[in-house]
Amino acid sequence: MYRIVTKKALTPTLVLIEIEAPMIARKAEPGQFIILRVDEDGERIPITIHDFDREKGTVSIIYQIVGATTEKLNRKQQGDYIQDFVGPLGNATELPGAKKVAVVGGGVGTAIAFPVAKKLHQQGVHVDLIVGFRNKDVVVLEDEFKKASTNYFVGTDDGSYVRKALVTELLEEQIQAGANYDAVFCVGPMMMMKFVCKVTEKYGIPTIVSMSPIMVDGTGMCGGCRLTLKGDNGESVTKFACVDGPDFDGFKVDWDEAVKRSRMYGEWERRKHEETCNLFKKEAK
């Protein structure tokens, strides 16, 4: 069992929890993920590590309440325990040799962009952190982002905060203004990553994306997280996000397939989420 040391709602649906997991905290690196189960019969879900404190022995994650499992997770309060917490899984993000990078995050992906930006920034890399949110109500972690970057750019889909701009637009502006990035690291909804890659490919800027497909064990055993990538000679290559990733060359990912695979249990998940909410409502009465 793993204790929730702190819990903080960043928005009504985006929540940060800090979990006591000293062994994982010792090893965690930006870009890696954990798998958790809320309770005895719970589903295993992967969540990317947001931050870690090696001395305190804690690992923080940010989750969005989107389904039955995150709904159940959100019922747990500070001091409560969750059943399982495994990691660190996957490979750490690496941008070897890059001196100037753009780190692009969208939605809950901004939470994952943070540790990568922070690490690069600490290493003396010039980091432009570009984040996008739906509207002003869901803008989060700005102080942290500013500290973890050289320049911080933010846009909202509806213009209710700072300016109306998608991350692709913010990124392209910087590129056109002569930012001259060695690499771009991008994490967020699959569609956003796909379109960021379309922009960067135009300018020939190597782009690493962090994939978060459906997975069960997270150790290479199930193959549920597999993706199709373009090989060096144009052939199709299958990779497992859990052990070969989660970072991949964004220009090589078969996005359409990845999007479809991510929706495989969509209908089931919606129904399950509804059932869980109804159950909680009943309990509350």
Partner 1 sequence: MPNMSLKKNEMPSQDPNVRNKNFLEVALGYTEEQALDEAARCLNCKNHPCVGGCPVNVRIPEFIKKITERDYEGAYQVIHDTSSLPAVCGRVCPQETQCEKYCVRGIKGEPVGIGRLERFVADWHNEHAKEAPAKPESNGHKVAVIGSGPSGLTCAGDLAKKGYDVTVFEALHLAGGVLVYGIPEFRLPKSIVRKEVDGLKALGVKIETNMVVGRVVSIDELMEQYGFEAVFIGSGAGLPMFMHIPGENLCGVYSANEFLTRINLMKAYQEGSDTPLMPLEGKKVTVVGGGNVAMDAARCSKRLGAEVYVVYRRGMEELPARKEEVEHAIEEGIIFKTLHNPVEIHGAENGYVSGMTCVEMELGEPDASGRRRPIEKQGSEFELPVDCVIMALGTSPNPLIKNTTPGLEVNRKGGIVVNEAGLTSHPSVYAGGDAVTGAATVILAMGAGKLGAKSIDEQLSKK
Residue 253 lies near partner 1 (rule: CB under 8 A): no
The whole-angstrom separation of Cα 67 and Cα 22 is 28
**228 is a contact residue toward partner 1 (CB under 8 A):** yes
**Of 135 and 238, which has the nearer Cβ to partner 1?**
238
Instruction: Give the count of residues interacting with partner 1 (CB under 8 A).
Output: 42
79 vs 223, beta carbon nearer partner 1: 223
Q: Which residues of 199-228 are buried (b: 16+ CB within 10 A; e: fewer)?
A: bbeeeebbbbbbbbbbbbbbeeeeebbbbb
Name which of 109, 85, 70 is nearest 187 in CA terms: 109
Residue 75 engages partner 1 in binding (rule: CB under 8 A): no
80 binds partner 1 (CB under 8 A): no
Distance of closest approach, residue 270 Cβ to partner 1, in angstroms: 11
Long-range contacts of residues 18-22, Cβ cutoff 8 Å, at least 24 apart: 18/53, 18/58, 18/59, 18/60, 19/58, 19/59, 19/60, 19/61, 19/82, 19/85, 20/57, 20/58, 21/57, 21/58, 21/59, 21/85, 21/87, 22/57, 22/58
86 touches partner 1 by CB under 8 A: yes
Q: Pick from 11, 150, 174, 219: which binds partner 1 (CB under 8 A)?
A: 219
Binding segment for partner 1 among 81-89, 104-112, 156-164, 190-198 (CB under 8 A)? 81-89
- 100-106 and 247-249 strand pairing: unpaired
Q: Binding partner 1 by CB under 8 A: which of 13, 152, 243, 273? A: 243
For helices 266-284 and 68-75, angle between their N-to-C axes, nearest 10 degrees? 30
- Shortest Å, Cβ 156 to partner 1: 31
272 contributes a contact to partner 1 by CB under 8 A: yes
Which listed range, 19-27, 103-111, 144-152, 174-182, lies at the site for partner 1 (CB under 8 A)?
A: 19-27
| Contact range with partner 1 by CB under 8 A, out of 36-44, 118-126, 155-163, 183-191 | 36-44
User: Is 105 strand, coil or helix?
Assistant: strand
Helix, strand, or coil here: 179? coil
Give me the 91-130 binding string for partner 1, x by CB under 8 A, dash otherwise: ----------------------------------------
Q: Is 257 in the site for partner 1 (CB under 8 A)?
A: yes
For partner 1, the binding residue among 68, 82, 103, 187 (CB under 8 A) is 68
Residues 6+ apart with CB under 8 A from 255: 190, 193, 194, 197
Residues in the chain: 285
Task: Rule CB under 8 A: say whether 161 interacts with partner 1.
Answer: no
Binding residues for partner 1 (CB under 8 A): 23-24, 27, 37, 41-44, 68-69, 83-89, 216-224, 226-228, 236, 238, 243, 254, 257, 260-261, 263-265, 268-269, 272
